[in-house]
C-alpha cells in the first residue's frame, strides 16, 4: 500500500470515528476516537482467533505507518522529516500558550521537564526492581531504567487536550502545559542515549559520552528553536496578511524538521521553543484579525493530528500478542508510575513551600500527579528499541515485553485517568474554595 492510500485510510477512518464519537458517544475527542480504534482492533483480533477474518492486512497497514518515525525519528541526514508529527503537534500547542504564564512557572517547569523526568525514571526502576525481587523475577536494572525513561514523560497531546475540559486552577494548567511540552523531547533524548550506553554503536551517536550528548542535543535544540522563532517573528512583524503568516509559520516548523536531525538536535524540543518564541509576536499574541486566523489554523492542525494520533494508538493493539503474565506486570506498573510522579512533584513543592514561594496546595500536587497521562511518544520509543537488547531470564528481545506493557499502560492511563480527570479537578477546586472561604471568615472574625 502506497503512502497516499495509507494517509487516505487513516484520515477517513479518523473522520468516521470522530463523527461517531461526536454523534453518539460524546466523549472527549481523543478518548472517543481511541476507544473506537480499540474496538476495531479487538474485533479484528477476535475474528482472527476464530478464523472468521484475516487481520494480516490491517496489521500490515498499522506497521507501515512507522509510528516511531512519525513521532521521534532518528538522527542524521537520512532521518530528515522524521518525527514531524510530534513536532507539528508541539509547535501548534506552544504557539497558543501565553509565554508570560511559562515565565511565571519557569523554575518548577524546568525541574519537572528535566530532573523530574530523570527522577521519575529512576524511582520507577527502583520500585519495579523491588517488586521483581520480592516475586523472584530476574532483572537487569539498566533495562528497568530504560523502561522507566520510556514511561517517564507526560504526554502533551493527551494531557493538554484533557485539561481544556476541566476546572483545574490556572497555575496547575500552566505547570502541566509547560512540563508536558518539554519533557517529551527530554525523555526522547534520554532514551536514545541510554540505548547508546546499553548497546554501544547502535545509534551512531556523534558524541563520545552519552551525558555530553544529552546536554548538547537539548542545548542545541533550544538555540535552534530560538533562532528559527526569531527569524519567523522578524518576517511576520511587518505584514498583516493571514495567508502569508500561515505559510511562514509552516515553513519554520518544516525547516526545523529538516535541519534538526542533521545537526543533530532534538526536533521536539526545538519545535516547542520555536513555538513559544513565535507566540510572543504581537501579531499572534493578540489573537485577533489575521493573527486569529493563524492561531485558528494551528488549532485545527492540532485537533486533527491529535485525533489521528489517538486512533493509531488504539490500532497499535493489533501489532502485539498478549500474555497474562505480561498484562499483570503492566497493570502493576501503573500505581508505581503514579507514586514516582508524585515524588518528583512533591520535592520541588516542598522546597518552595518551606521557602514561602508557592501558594500551591498539596491537593493540587495530587491533581498534577493524576494529570500524568502517557501517550504516543512512549509507544514510539518502545517501538524504536533495538532487538539487540535482550532480557536476562529468557534471552529474548527486551522490546517485545516493553512494547506490550507500554501499550497497555498508555491505553489504561488515558482511559482511566483521562476520563476521571475532570471529576478530580472539580473535587480539588471545591476543596480550595472551601479553604478560601474558611480563611476569609477567620480573617473577618479576627478584624471584627
Looking up cell 479484528 gives 44
- In the chain, the domains with their CATH numbers are 3-64 (no CATH), 71-441 (1.20.1530.20)
Going by C-beta distance under 8 Å and a sequence separation of 6 or more, which residues neighbour residue 284?
Answer: 95, 236, 245, 278, 291, 294, 295
Q: What is the pLDDT of residue 127?
A: 96
The secondary structure element, H or E, covering residue 330 is: helix 324-354
How confident is the model at residue 144, as a pLDDT?
A: 94
pLDDT in tens, the chain (448 residues): 678 888 899 999 999 999 999 999 888 888 889 999 999 998 988 888 777 778 888 888 898 888 888 888 666 666 777 778 888 998 998 887 877 777 778 888 888 888 899 999 999 999 999 999 999 888 889 999 999 999 999 887 778 777 877 878 888 888 888 888 888 878 887 888 788 788 766 555 555 565 666 677 788 899 999 999 999 999 998 887 888 999 999 999 999 999 988 887 888 889 999 999 998 887 776 656 667 788 889 989 988 998 999 999 999 989 888 788 888 889 999 999 999 999 999 998 898 888 888 888 899 999 999 999 998 889 989 998 888 888 876 678 889 899 999 999 999 999 999 889 999 999 998 998 898 888 888 888 887 7
Cα separation, 127 vs 120, whole angstroms: 11
Residues 6+ apart with CB under 8 A from 56: none
Q: What is the pTM for the complete model shown?
A: 0.88
Please tell me the predicted confidence (pLDDT) of residue 101.
72
DSSP letter for each residue of 77-114? GGGTTTTHHHHHHHHHHHHTS-HHHHHHTHHHHHHHHT
- Grid cell, residue 321, equals 500478542
Q: How many CA atoms lie within 13 A of 373 on its CB side?
A: 28
DSSP conformation letters of 47-81: HHHTTSS--HHHHHHHHHT-HHHHHT--SSGGGTT
Q: Which residues have CB under 8 Å from 215's CB, separation 6+?
A: none
Angle of helix 29-49 versus helix 289-315 axis, rounded to 10: 20
Instruction: Quickly count: other Cβ atoms within 10 Å of residue 132's Cβ.
Output: 16
Percent helix, strand and coil across the chain, each to the nearest 5:
80, 0, 20
Strand pairing partners for 390?
A: 397
Amino acid at each position: 500500500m502506497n503512502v497516499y492510500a495509507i494517509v487516505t485510510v487513516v484520515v477517513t477512518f479518523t473522520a468516521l470515528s470522530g463523527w461517531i464519537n461526536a454523534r453518539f458517544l460524546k466523549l472527549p475527542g481523543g478518548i472517543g476516537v481511541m476507544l473506537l480504534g480499540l474496538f476495531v482492533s479487538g474485533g479484528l483480533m477476535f475474528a482472527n482467533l476464530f478464523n472468521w477474518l484475516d487481520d494480516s492486512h490491517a496489521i500490515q497497514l498499522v506497521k507501515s505507518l512507522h509510528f516511531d518515525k512519525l513521532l521521534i525519528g532518528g538522527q542524521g541526514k537520512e532521518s530528515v522529516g522524521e518525527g514531524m508529527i510530534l513536532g507539528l503537534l508541539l509547535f501548534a500547542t506552544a504557539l497558543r500558550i501565553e509565554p508570560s504564564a511559562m515565565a511565571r512557572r519557569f523554575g518548577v517547569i524546568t525541574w519537572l521537564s528535566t530532573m523530574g523526568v530523570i527522577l521519575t525514571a529512576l524511582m520507577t526502576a527502583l520500585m519495579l526492581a523491588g517488586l521483581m525481587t520480592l516475586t523472584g523475577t530476574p532483572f537487569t536494572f539498566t533495562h528497568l531504567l530504560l523502561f522507566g525513561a520510556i514511561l517517564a514523560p507526560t504526554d502533551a497531546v493527551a494531557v493538554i487536550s484533557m485539561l481544556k475540559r476541566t476546572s483545574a486552577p490556572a497555575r496547575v494548567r500552566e505547570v502541566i502545559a509547560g512540563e508536558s511540552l518539554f519533557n517529551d523531547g527530554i525523555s526522547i533524548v534520554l532514551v536514545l542515549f541510554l540505548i547508546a550506553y546499553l548497546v554501544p554503536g547502535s545509534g551512531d551517536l556523534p558524541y563520545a559520552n552519552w551525558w555530553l550528548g544529552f546536554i548538547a542535543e537539548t542545548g542545541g535544540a533550544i538555540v535552534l528553536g530560538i533562532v528559527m522563532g526569531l527569524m519567523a517573528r522578524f518576517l511576520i512583524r511587518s505584514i498583516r496578511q493571514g495567508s502569508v503568516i500561515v505559510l511562514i509559520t509552516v515553513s519554520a516548523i518544516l525547516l526545523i524538521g529538516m535541519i534538526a536531525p542533521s545537526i543533530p538536535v532534538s526536533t521536539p524540543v526545538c519545535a516547542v521553543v520555536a513555538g513559544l518564541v513565535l507566540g510572543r509576536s504581537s501579531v499572534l499574541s493578540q489573537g485577533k484579525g489575521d493573527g486569529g486566523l493563524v492561531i485558528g489554523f494551528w488549532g485545527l492542525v492540532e485537533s486533527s493530528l491529535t485525533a489521528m494520533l489517538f486512533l493509531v494508538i488504539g490500532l497499535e493493539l493489533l501489532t502485539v500478542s498478549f500474555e497474562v503474565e505480561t498484562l499483570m506486570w503492566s497493570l502493576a506498573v501503573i500505581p508505581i508510575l503514579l507514586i514516582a510522579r508524585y515524588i518528583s512533584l512533591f520535592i520541588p513543592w516542598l522546597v518552595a513551600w518551606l521557602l514561602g514561594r508557592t501558594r500551591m496546595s498539596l491537593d493540587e500536587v495530587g491533581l498534577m500527579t493524576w494529570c500524568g497521562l502517557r501517550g504516543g511518544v512512549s509507544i514510539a520509543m518502545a517501538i524504536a528499541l533495538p532487538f539487540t537488547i535482550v532480557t536476562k531470564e529468557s534471552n529474548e528481545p527486551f522490546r517485545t515485553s516493553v512494547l506490550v506493557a507500554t501499550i497497555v499502560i498508555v491505553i489504561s492511563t488515558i482511559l482511566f485517568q483521562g476520563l476521571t480527570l475532570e471529576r478530580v479537578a472539580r473535587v480539588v477546586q471545591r476543596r480550595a474554595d472551601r479553604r478560601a472561604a474558611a480563611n476569609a471568615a477567620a480573617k473577618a472574625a479576627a478584624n471584627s
